[in-house]
Chain A
Amino acid sequence: MSKSDELTRREFLAYGGGAAGMLALAAVYSRNVTRIDTDAISSSTHQCDVLVIGGGMAGLFAAVKAHDAGASVMMVSKGRLGSSGLTPFAKGFFVFDPATETMTLDEYTYTVSRSALGTNNPVYTRQTAEHSLARAAELREWGFFDSNLYNKAFRRPVDARSIPVIERVVITHLFKEGRRVAGAAGFRLDAEATVTFRAKSVILCTGAGAFKPNGFPVCDLTHDGTIMAYNIGAKVTGKEWNDGHIGRAKNPAATYDGWGDMFDQRPSTEGVGVRHDLGVEVNYLAYMQGSPIEMGPASSIDGEPFRPAEFADVQRPSEAPAGRERPQSGGGPGAGGGPPARKGDANGGGGPGLGGGAPGMGGDAMGGASAGMAIHKSEGLVPINDQCESNVPGLFAAGDALGSYMCGAIYTQVGSSLAGSAVQGAVAGEAAARYSQGVELQAVPEDVLTSIEGEILAPLRREAGYGPAWVTQTLQGIMIPNFVLYIKKESMLRAALAYIEELRDHHMPMLRAADMHELRLAHETANMIVSAEMKLKASIMRTESRCSHYRLDYPQMDDENWRAWINIDKDEQGQMRLEKQAFDAWPAA
């Protein structure tokens, strides 16, 4: 093409497409004008016994307990200790105090199982309750309950133990040597540098993820841990479940404003209070009636998701003080069939306003605030035992990165998300320390590390490609609609899957990045694409409705075939493989 041709084409674009067209073009597919020298990227290597990835509640306890069990520990986080993921916004901490509770531990576990319709793993349900008091006591000692910001309290035990914390490093890859995990690699946000960690054991405390939705402070979580573990052969579960949070129609993306004064509150403890929350009832209502939704005591309509009668009355404010739970509770969102729980002031109601009665926030509701996220701790790595261990030797996960089914596939115990992360972090930390005592640090071949580094930096080195922001928006448009994500039917799931496979096959390999921030976006976008594929495939496979999974074409619960979880892993050909695992059973290691 001659120079004048090129000019003409440019002019055509400029005049024909107008400024908006040019902007859109710039954001979609265009030359990658990197703002950094991609040939001058440095690298560094660290080594330790136990590598903790993630700096939230699970990561804190994993690092502290692994250190106290004698391991040399390093922490690495995409953000800052106590200030990334969902931890900073979680305000309720469930404590089972035998001295004050009227239930026994077994009765509590059984109650959760009844609400969860069998989807919970009673071993993990019990474990959280059993250890919650001890973890809360430690947190109290560190000053956790004294501020609405957690960094200072989290730094206290970590600094006291001189545990190195490397912040603002995005981990994108895990690697193995033989069958065993041997470390992780990623890149720095603040420098043109890659970072490699060689470790005997890795604990993923990477949280869950979503599709960078609007209305829930989860936009930095994109299932990174799940996907990198899946890529080295770990089993993953829980992708068909949904967290059914709704938000405000006005300024839906403003999470702080949407949650009233909740982000301002200091955390506090919660006693036993088992609910059946944050399923898809409100999404079903919106699907059947349209928006704005009419919420009221008599709003239940035919065919709606099944709710056990025992847990029908979920708006007991005494049990669930609004705003004391992390964003996913508070009685409002997902609790179709009644007014939101209120707590004195107008903004104290259960999170973002419900349709027809947004507490103190006025205006209508919108759906999909947390789109792409499952019920906490129902999705993530499949544990092979009660020690948070995955099927990859040396690889552990805790908190929202572990598919422990601690509270099942529906939100049951108030405040158990934060408590569960603390308890599981501690369990995983000790288990990983024990594991690392029995193995040697493995030598990973240089060519393996070089190839991983190439994969990490690939989006920066592409001369042209797709902008990750545009691919993410396209994915959101495919996945987030109510009739795809929440109110499911096979034809629509298959249609969406066709789109997602297109993104996977054609766009994922062509994501571009101009700087380290965009490099992060590129990797996050790729993780969301794989997660979307998992979500759709698991949703197609589960031909029943239960808890937070609702199929319009299979509205009934099918106990005969579906008292089972769905596990996903990569087969020998690199294809996504789905299998059933019976409730109450452990998978083969």
Chain B
Amino acid sequence: MTIQHIGGCIGCRECVLSCPCDVIRMDEAVNKAVIAYPADCQICHLCRMYCPVDAITLSPEKTIPVVVSWG
């Protein structure tokens, strides 16, 4: 699920700014952050750590198949 849940968002945009992969966008109508492009999440938790109200919960699972070198 990567970024799993945004709850209690105050609309400050910190997560949108701090996401290196542009996963989160604002839903301007309600002034809340939404998980717009979960497939591109690298599960680095920067959004969670920059969020002033700790609104973001992440899961370690990726939404798309994962390619590795060997395993």
A and B touch in the complex (CB under 8 A): yes
Chain A residues within 8 Å of B, Cβ to Cβ: 79-80, 83-85, 88-89, 148-149, 151, 167-168, 189, 213-215, 217-220, 247, 249, 251-257, 263, 283, 286-287, 291, 364-369, 371, 469, 473, 476-477, 480-482, 485-486, 517, 520-521
Check A517/B70 contact, CB under 8 A, given A83-B20, A85-B20.
Answer: no
Which single residue of chain B is at the shortest CB-CB distance from A85? B20
Check A253/B20 contact, CB under 8 A, given A89-B44, A148-B49, A217-B42.
Answer: no
CB atoms of B40 and A521 under 8 A apart: yes
Decide if the interface of chain B is mainly helix, strand, loop or mixed: loop
Q: List chain A residues, Cβ under 8 A from B65.
A: 473
Assembled-state Cα–Cα distance A84/B58 (Å): 18
Q: How near does chain B come to A151, taking the closest CB pair, in angstroms? A: 7
Q: How near does chain B come to A164, taking the closest CB pair, in angstroms? A: 16
Assembled-state Cα–Cα distance A366/B38 (Å): 23
Assembled-state Cα–Cα distance A480/B45 (Å): 25
Q: Show 27 A/B contacts (Cβ-Cβ < 8 Å), sorted by A.
A: A79-B18, A83-B18, A89-B44, A149-B49, A167-B17, A214-B67, A219-B20, A220-B21, A247-B68, A253-B61, A254-B60, A255-B44, A256-B43, A257-B43, A257-B60, A263-B44, A263-B45, A283-B69, A286-B69, A287-B70, A366-B71, A371-B68, A480-B69, A482-B69, A482-B70, A486-B69, A517-B36
Assembled-state Cα–Cα distance A256/B70 (Å): 21
State which of B22, B43, B64, B68 has its C-beta within 8 Å of the C-beta of A255. Answer: B43
CB atoms of B69 and A79 under 8 A apart: no
Which single residue of chain A is at the shortest CB-CB distance from B44? A217
Q: How near does chain B come to A387, taking the closest CB pair, in angstroms? A: 29
CB atoms of A480 and B68 under 8 A apart: yes
CB within 8 Å of A: which B37-71 residues = 37, 39-40, 42-46, 49-50, 58, 60-62, 64-71
CB of B19 closer than 8 Å to a CB of A: yes
Assembled-state Cα–Cα distance A283/B70 (Å): 8
Decide if the interface of chain A is mainly helix, strand, loop or mixed: loop
CB atoms of B69 and A366 under 8 A apart: yes
CB atoms of A252 and B66 under 8 A apart: yes
9 new A-B contacts at CB < 8 Å, known A149-B46, A480-B67, A482-B70: A79-B20, A251-B60, A254-B62, A256-B60, A263-B45, A291-B70, A366-B68, A368-B67, A368-B68
Q: How near does chain B come to A44, taking the closest CB pair, in angstroms? A: 20
CB atoms of B50 and A256 under 8 A apart: no
CB atoms of B21 and A219 under 8 A apart: yes
Q: List chain B residues, Cβ under 8 A from A480.
A: 67-69
CB atoms of B62 and A214 under 8 A apart: yes
Which single residue of chain A is at the shortest CB-CB distance from B68? A366
Which single residue of chain A is at the shortest CB-CB distance from B59? A254
Q: List chain A residues, Cβ under 8 A from B19.
A: 79
CB atoms of B61 and A251 under 8 A apart: yes
Q: How near does chain A come to B11, taking the closest CB pair, in angstroms? A: 15
Q: List chain B residues, Cβ under 8 A from A367.
A: 68-71
Q: List chain A residues, Cβ under 8 A from B2.
A: 253
Q: How near does chain A come to B1, taking the closest CB pair, in angstroms? A: 11
Q: List chain B residues, Cβ under 8 A from A149.
A: 46, 49-50
Check A217/B20 contact, CB under 8 A, given A149-B49, A253-B42.
Answer: yes
Q: How near does chain B come to A220, taking the closest CB pair, in angstroms? A: 4
Question: Looking at B22, B39, B70, which has the most chain A CB atoms within 10 Å of its CB?
Answer: B70
Q: How near does chain A come to B5, taking the closest CB pair, in angstroms? A: 16
Which single residue of chain A is at the shortest CB-CB distance from B62? A253
Q: List chain B residues, Cβ under 8 A from A291.
A: 70-71
State which of A148, A220, A257, A368 has its C-beta within 8 Å of the C-beta of B20. Answer: A220
